[in-house]
Amino acid sequence: MHTVLGSAVLGVALTVLCPAAQADSTPHLRPIVSAVLDHDPSAFTEGLVLDGESLYESTGLAGHSQLRELDPATGTLRRSAALPPDYFGEGIAVVGDRIWQLTYRNGVAVEWDRATLTRLREIPLTGDGWGLCNDGHRLIRSDGTATLHIHEPDAMRETGSITVTLNGTELPGLNGLDCSAGQIWANVFPTNQIVQIDPASGVVLAVVDVEGLLEPQYRDNIHILNGITRVDDRHFLITGKDWPHMFRVSFDPV
């Protein structure tokens, strides 16, 4: 998600992440850039996941939503497949030889064949689809609130949920997700921040502020941070909606 800012819920997200709003006991991190890759500035990124030698990207907006495979070394587009024109693509997760792609408010999750990028089936989905990731045993879905929904990976059946809190307060706006190394990383819409979440308790363990990565002309309410995936033990790839770049970064203490 998405394009419209300024709702009460999103205002809460901005307030909660602001250290001045309350006592802030959570560690803060900053991105250290090790490489800058090209990114299609017309790609309205909603999901990003690296699996082996392929980087998969989901793009949104009705009439423009795609599942895309990119070269993870350069960001170059290898191939793409379109969703139906009325679908708004959202988060993605790789499950073996398949890929699950959420839709925003179309009420379905789409299963793709990874080898051919052909659609296999659609599964009904209750609630919004925002971010999605695979922790190796289960799928985790965000819906723009402070709740992360747990799904089993074969048929997307919902089995539980996690409430995410920052300094004791629920944190809404959870968006693009990465599940790796026993942690969950989430973009927080519509901010330039990423949070590290303990999947057992839902407690935010660290806040990353990526403000200033993009050139000044892209710092607006359209080019919103979204898309994160782990590269190795130390590095992540991050990007955003209509960003001209992807950044390979590590997260270091401020």
pLDDT band at 2 (very low <50, low <70, confident <90, very high): low
Q: What would the pLDDT profile of 108-136 be if each residue is shown by its tens digit? A: 999 999 999 999 999 999 999 999 999 99
pLDDT band at 24 (very low <50, low <70, confident <90, very high): confident
The answer to whether residues 195 and 172 touch, using CB atoms and an 8 Å cutoff, is no
Query: How many structural domains does the chain have?
Result: 1
What is the distance between the alpha carbons of residues 191 and 169, in angstroms, rounded to a whole number? 17
Asked if residue 190 belongs to a domain, the reply is yes
Asked if residue 238 belongs to a domain, the reply is yes
pLDDT band at 10 (very low <50, low <70, confident <90, very high): very low
Q: What is the CB-side half-sphere exposure of residue 37 using CA atoms within 13 A?
A: 20
Asked if residue 1 belongs to a domain, the reply is no
pLDDT band at 22 (very low <50, low <70, confident <90, very high): low
pLDDT band at 1 (very low <50, low <70, confident <90, very high): low
Q: What would the pLDDT profile of 82-107 be if each residue is shown by its tens digit? A: 999 999 999 999 999 999 999 999 99
Domain that holds residue 145: 8-253
Asked if residue 3 belongs to a domain, the reply is no
Asked if residue 14 belongs to a domain, the reply is yes
Q: What is the pLDDT of residue 229?
A: 98
pLDDT at 6 over 70: no
Average pLDDT, the chain: 93
Q: What would the pLDDT profile of 151-179 be if each residue is shown by its tens digit? A: 999 999 999 999 999 999 999 999 999 99
> In this structure, what token pair is assigned to residue 66?
């795609």
pLDDT band at 3 (very low <50, low <70, confident <90, very high): low
Q: What is the pLDDT of residue 8?
A: 34
Q: How many CB atoms lie within 10 A of CB 98?
A: 16
pLDDT band at 215 (very low <50, low <70, confident <90, very high): very high
CATH at 201: 2.120.10.30
pLDDT band at 16 (very low <50, low <70, confident <90, very high): very low
Asked if residue 130 belongs to a domain, the reply is yes
What is the distance between the alpha carbons of residues 131 and 226, in angstroms, rounded to a whole number? 9
Share of the chain above pLDDT 90, in %: 88
Asked if residue 2 belongs to a domain, the reply is no
What is the gyration radius of the CA atoms in the chain, in angstroms? 17
pTM, 2 dp: 0.92
